[in-house]
Amino acid sequence: MDKFVRSWLAELKSYAAIFALVAVLACVPIVAQLLDNPFLIRLLTRAVLLGMAAVGLNFILGFGGLLSLMHASLFGIGAYVVAILAWHDFNMEPVLGFSGTSNVLIALPVALLCVGLAAMTTGVIALRTMGAYFIMITLAFNQMLYYFSISLQTYGGGDGLQILSTLTFNHFVITSRAQFYWLCVAVLGTVLIVMHKIIKSRFGMILQACAQNERRVKALGFAPLPYKLVAFVISGLIAGLAGALWAVGQGFVSPADLSWMRSADLVVIAVLGGTGRVYGPVLGAIVFVVLESVLSGLTPYWQLPLGLIVIGIVVFLKGGLADLFVGRRHA
């Protein structure tokens, strides 16, 4: 009994950082209220959603050793599906024989289905290659989907697509930014816990083993490809989920959300926060978004210092910000 309690406590303790992070994030609207600074909520909503996408990316980057530069496009598919369904609902035009919808609870699963299919198809091709080829193929797929989004003339083409209908959650309508923010934080918390569980599971162990020594994994009788593919799809689904929420929050989607530079931003966010921990990218996203907002407030040439910071991080900070906060992870 004692043993059971102790292992249960140890399990709980391993979630402590996630709980703490979610709790701190949940307090932001209250702080914003006290400071009378509603901009803070918008900023943190952005951070939470970019962070969620980066958490997805980091699942294969930090734990699978796969550097994907197409996660912005998966994020973008999630966003576009929500916006397109809403467009069809607003214009009362059926899409593929179904009517459109402004109900997020219907749109979200559809979006995830589309993202999953896209991730599966591209993953099968990309994962057959290794190392640098994988990076460049994912980059090319990102660009492909980016151009595809631009070519969608019905849905705004290069200008993007405004969501004109009122999005609902069944009959519930989100009325305040704070409500939406809390929803995003709750989803993020769920994602983090699920990720944590997966990484500690047998599946997660094999995935990490693949990243370290694929030959040895093969020698143990596992075929790495299915594991990597499932991981890639899960990773893409999380990015797509973040994208779908992004569309709900912004009421607007645009090809810029799919740009490869955004994919690179997600990598920066993951590395900034530390790829060794599940929640690292969330820290990275907060710093990134704040940095972006502060720098762009100071100068129109804010990418210059940002670029220098990115270079500096690669040169100096190997374990990301999470190392600064929590100390080095034991190997």
Comparing CB distances to another protein, the nearer of 103 and 143 is: 143
Comparing CB distances to another protein, the nearer of 136 and 194 is: 136
Structure tokens at 196: 């944590």
Q: Are 138 and 68 in contact (CB under 8 A)?
A: yes
Q: Taking the CA atoms of the chain, what radius of gyration do you get in angstroms? A: 20
Give how far the C-alpha of residue 254 lies from the chain's centroid of Cα atoms, to the nearest Å: 17
Q: DSSP character for 165?
A: S
Q: What residue type is assigned to position 156 of the chain? A: G
132 contacts another protein (rule: CB under 8 A):
yes
- The single residue among 233, 267, 278, 322 that binds another protein, judged by CB under 8 A, is 267
324 contacts another protein (rule: CB under 8 A):
no
- The single residue among 9, 173, 186, 304 that binds another protein, judged by CB under 8 A, is 304
H/E stretch holding 252: strand 252-253
Helix axes 16-26 and 2-14, enclosed angle (nearest 10): 50
69 contacts another protein (rule: CB under 8 A):
yes
- The single residue among 135, 193, 199, 209 that binds another protein, judged by CB under 8 A, is 135
Determine how β-strand 161-162 pairs with β-strand 252-253.
antiparallel
Taking the complex as a whole, how short is the minimal distance between the CB of residue 123 and another protein, in angstroms?
11
CA distance 154 to 52: 29
147 contacts another protein (rule: CB under 8 A):
yes
- The single residue among 28, 81, 119, 139 that binds another protein, judged by CB under 8 A, is 139
Taking the complex as a whole, how short is the minimal distance between the CB of residue 204 and another protein, in angstroms?
20
Per the listing, tokens 């270079």 go with: 311
CA distance 166 to 107: 13
298 contacts another protein (rule: CB under 8 A):
no
106 contacts another protein (rule: CB under 8 A):
no
Comparing CB distances to another protein, the nearer of 40 and 278 is: 278
Helix axes 104-126 and 224-250, enclosed angle (nearest 10): 140
- The single residue among 15, 38, 67, 165 that binds another protein, judged by CB under 8 A, is 67
CA distance 116 to 203: 19
Comparing CB distances to another protein, the nearer of 102 and 122 is: 122
Comparing CB distances to another protein, the nearer of 153 and 170 is: 153
Q: 114: closest CA among 237, 274, 250?
A: 237
128 contacts another protein (rule: CB under 8 A):
yes
59 contacts another protein (rule: CB under 8 A):
no
Site residues for another protein per CB under 8 A:
61, 67, 69, 122, 125, 128-133, 135-137, 139-141, 143-144, 147-148, 150-153, 260-261, 264, 267-268, 271, 300-304, 306-311, 313-315
